[in-house]
Every structure is written in structure tokens, then in C-alpha cells.
Amino acid sequence: MRRLIPATLALALLATMNAPAHAGAAPGLVRVDQVGYWPGETKHAYLMTSGRAGRFTVVDRRGRVVLTGRAGPDRGVWNSRYPHVHDLDLTRLRTPGRYRIKAGGATSAEFAIAPTRTPAADMLGFFGLQRDGADATRKPSHLNDRAASVYEWPEFTGPDTDQIKGELTKVGGPVDVEGGWFDAGDYLKFTHILAYVDTLLWAAQRDGRAPNHALRKEAAHGLKYLDKMWDEESKTLYIQVGIGVGNVEGAFVGDHDIWRLPEADDGDDAEGHQFIRNRPVFRAAAPGEPISPNLAGRTAAAFALAAQLEPSHRRARKLLDQAASIYAMAKTTDVGELVTSLPHAFYPESVWRDDMQLGGAELALAAQRLRDPRAGQWLAEAAGWARGYLDEEQGDTLNLYDVSALAHADLLKAMRAARTGGLAVTEADLIAGLKAQLDLGASRAATDPFRAGARYDTFDSVPHAFGLAATARLYRSVTRDRAYDVFGTQQRNWALGANPWGVSFVAGAGENSIGCPHHQIANITGKPAIGAVVNGPNSASLFEGGLGGHFEEMPPCPPDGVDRYAEFTGHGSRFVDDVRSWQASEPADDFAAIALYALTLSST
């Protein structure tokens, strides 16, 4: 979870982990996508250097030279230590195999042409690690969630803190909220995130090259939990299980106050741990009251996508009706602050018409498949929300906070299937909306030494990169125009190692991937969270106060505490591979979901 910066916690420091940070470092460093490239792709790697660039060579595993070339023009300054970044064009390398690049006195990490597998399968494994409840892949955890109490929203001590003021007030229960996935490196669960994640998993199953049993199974696991979070009879959507930190009076603690394995919580009878043992549940609104439209739209989308893929006609109709019921509860007038989590600042979403557009588009597609007469109604509603989004909310690209790229692509499909006009948007409007997002990323990439389309100095740079990669494929799928294929590939390359730090931000993907994620299970057990996707670089200002101390139960990682990436700090951004660095190294479900979706599309 994107945590607030607690006043009691020193913030964070430093930058990245490929070559050692000392004065005798090699004069050049090569950055490459450590997973690899498809034979027909345009392929780029990068040489960081303080001196002049010359020729480069590519060698196979036996040391034989298979390609030579001259380093391209200087793409610009990264930082004072590496004032030159040169492009290395590998496009002529097409023969499947494993290779390294030699340039500027340095040798790159190994990479593949025609990788035999992508990290997508490992990302599914990460979701297995994140499972909560009786179906957890490690050990059952939080079985007390089967009979949880419901509480009023807590009062926080300020707008920028998650510390609770006073006591929690019980208003209902018991309710069964067992299961689902932990949100991130902690053990909280949020409907806002889980609905987005499950939507992407179903979309990956639908849009990928071939059916994937493991993917479908994981998507079904998420949907089972969403079904628990929606009470059809009382028209209530539950949004959160657990609290971040305790109250200012010290009467109880929250999830972020202790470091432990999840299976310990059900039997934790320590003083003040009552909400660790019996986790509180919170509602989006009072029973029967309208629901924040971002939640209604994306939750409906998950059920409607499942309806599109359900082989049983009877079960598909039930899923469609469930999606329709949730969608109809959306509060679309006098919306106010959107409901995401408690506190809202954990996930500060500010746009919602994209969620309603996505929900309407998926409902329309499901209804078209089932020959349901409501298809036209939902198509018109989705087009109306698309019009509102294009007129009032544009400015971001595909990620947790903006799902319009997927909504545009799927609304286009529904419009083409319906063959009807007179809607609030045209096909050209939606294509222009997709193009605007890609152009936003491409304009950044044009001036960035490593062609990054996402910003380095803010949260969620890695998921934004994968989101741009996915959007490039969505654009191609609805236009047959390959104009953004190269740009999309470059975003995937950046996330998997062709970046200033030379790090693959997917655990286990490549020779030098994230090694010390802010993840309790991985840290305590010492077993890597393979397939985890982390936030990546963040604003250097977030690290000015240091990383703070370790929990007593937190094994230091890296063991020597040395930041091996400090020399690569640049462009206002830092990356720190340290278990304490939640700002840069905490994995999250939404990161893994958009990465998995992008990689699934890139293999089609």
C-alpha cells in the first residue's frame, strides 16, 4: 500500500544496485532489458559513461561475437557522474539465444532473444503468495475474518496521517470477509485495489494468446472475495479489512505497527492487539445508500468481465446481474471525495468517470455475448461517461488511478459489435483518447536518456511504464496501427533493466532484479517474492531523512546496509533496494496486475 509518511518514521534515502558505488567504478555501464527481446522487435540498450563512446559488441554464451556496431548519439546527461548516455541499437540481432553486450569497458547483464518465458507466470505465483484465508498457498491466515465486525469510519488526527483519534465504533456484523489477497507488503485488504486487479486478470485471460488455467484460477479467487465484499440483499459494499496504525491514545495498534507473518494474527492476544486478532471491516456507504462511482464502476467491471468468459450460460447471467446491481448503486451526482481506503490518502484517487465507463463497457460486452436486451442501455451509459472523461478528466495514463485506456478499447469493441450510432462519443474520439495518453508518454520518452515514458520522481513509475506498454498494444488492437509498438517495447525494456540503475523491478526476472523488497513474508522467511513488482524510483526528497530503523523482527536486507545505487541518483529521483524502503521497494498487487497484463498482451 502507498503508505503515508508517519511523523514517527524517518523517511528514506539512496538509489540503486548494479555496480558498486566507489570511485574506482568502471568508466562505462551497459543497461539492457534483462529478460530479453522478441526477434522482430526494435531493440535498444544503453551505455552510461563519463567519457567518449565507441563501438560495442554482442557475444553469445560461448564468447563468440555475433554483432558489432557503433554507439549511437549522446541522448543526454543522467547525472554528474554519468554525463553521457548512448543508445546501443541491437535490432539486427534476431537469432534466438542468450547474449551479453560489451561496451565502454563494461559487460552487460545477460539477456535473451526470443525468451522461452516471460515473468508473467512468476507474477501469478506472487498472487499465490499474497493469498489470505483458508486458500493461502503458504499457511491459512486470518480465519477470524470469517466473522468480522463492521465499524464506522475512524476519525484521523489529520489529513496527512493514518493515526486514528479515539476508539472505533462497532455498527454491525458478523460478516464473512475471509480470503482475497493481501494488498502489498502488509496484510490489509482493499476492495478498490482488488477490483482493479481482478479486472486486469480477467482481461489478461480474455485478451491473451491462449487460455491460461492458472490465470483463470487466480482471477476466480479474486472474484470469490469480491462476491463476499458485496452484500446483494442489503446493497452494501465493504471496502477495507484492517487498519494501518493504531490510535493516538495508544489503546490499540494497527497492521503497520508490527512486523510478523500473517498466520500469527488469529492467535495474537497481546495487549492492544485486538484489531490485529479480530480485524475491523468498513463499508463504502450505509446499507442501501449510493456507492462512490469509482468503486461501483470497477467492481462491476470485474463481475462483467468474468461473465464474458464464463462457459455456463446460467452462471454468466448471474454474474452479469451481479455486475448490473453494483453498477446501478453508483453515486454520480454530488460525488465529493472518492472512497478508496481509510484514510483516503493511502490511495488518493480523484477521477471516476473512467471507472464508470469501464463498468458500462464490460456490461455491454457481456450483455452482447448473452443476447441481453440491456446491452444498448449500458453501451449508451458507457459512451456518456467516456464523453465526460474526455472533456473533464484526461491527463494520466493507465494505472490504478486511471483505467480509461482499457475502457476506451473495450467500449470501441462494444460499439463495433452493436453497429449503432448516435452515441455521446465516436470511435475517432476514443482512438484519439488512447493516442493522447501514448503521446504524453512518448513526449517524455523523447527527451529522456533511457526513453522512459513515466516520471521517475513520483510514485508508481514502474506500473505507469507497464501501463504505457499495455496501452500501446491496446491501441494497435483497435486501430491495427503499429505506430506506438516501438515506444511500448521501450517501456517494458525500462522496467526490466534498461534503466539508469540497471535493475529489473520484477523480482527474479533477470540477472539483477530487486532483491530486498519491503515485504514481510519474503523478509522473515528469507524466501524471495519471485514475480513481485515494486514501485521503482521515487522522488529523491522522500529519502532525505534516511530509511529509519528496523523492526526487531525484520532481518536487515541488504545485510551490510550499504546502498549500492547511490551513484545513480539523478533527474530528481532515487531508487533504494532495502527492506525499509517502502517508497521504492514495496511490491503491490496492482503493480503486478498491470505488469502481467502488459506482458500478456506483448506476447500476442
User: What separation in angstroms does the CA of 525 have from each of 346, 511, 584?
Assistant: 27, 22, 21
What is the mean pLDDT of the segment spanning 73-81? 96
User: What separation in angstroms does the CA of 268 have from each of 127, 141, 265, 399, 414?
Assistant: 25, 12, 5, 36, 51
Amino acid 210: pLDDT: 65
Are the C-beta atoms of residues 495 and 505 closer than 8 Å to each other?
yes
On the question of pLDDT at 24 being above 70, the answer is no
Indicate the pLDDT class of residue 159, thresholds 50, 70 and 90: confident
What does the alpha-carbon distance between residue 125 and residue 116 come to, in Å, rounded to a whole number?
Answer: 17
The residue assigned the cell 476466480 is 220
What is the mean pLDDT of the segment spanning 45-62? 95
CA dihedral 31→454→79→15, nearest 10 degrees, is -80
Amino acid 421: pLDDT: 87
Mean per-residue pLDDT of the chain: 94
* Pair type for strands 170-175 and 230-231: unpaired
How far does CA 538 lie from the centroid of its chain?
15
Tens of pLDDT, residues 216-234: 999 999 999 999 999 999 9
DSSP state of 542: G
Amino acid 118: pLDDT: 86
On the question of pLDDT at 25 being above 60, the answer is no
User: 209-218, 389-398, 562-571: which has the minimum mean pLDDT?
Assistant: 209-218
Sheet with 44-49, side-by-side order of all strands: 28-31, 44-49, 84-89
On the question of pLDDT at 485 being above 90, the answer is yes
On the question of pLDDT at 4 being above 70, the answer is no
Amino acid 219: pLDDT: 98
The structure's pTM equals 0.95
Tens of pLDDT, residues 385-422: 999 999 999 999 999 999 999 999 999 999 999 998 89
Amino acid 1: pLDDT: 58
On the question of pLDDT at 21 being above 60, the answer is no
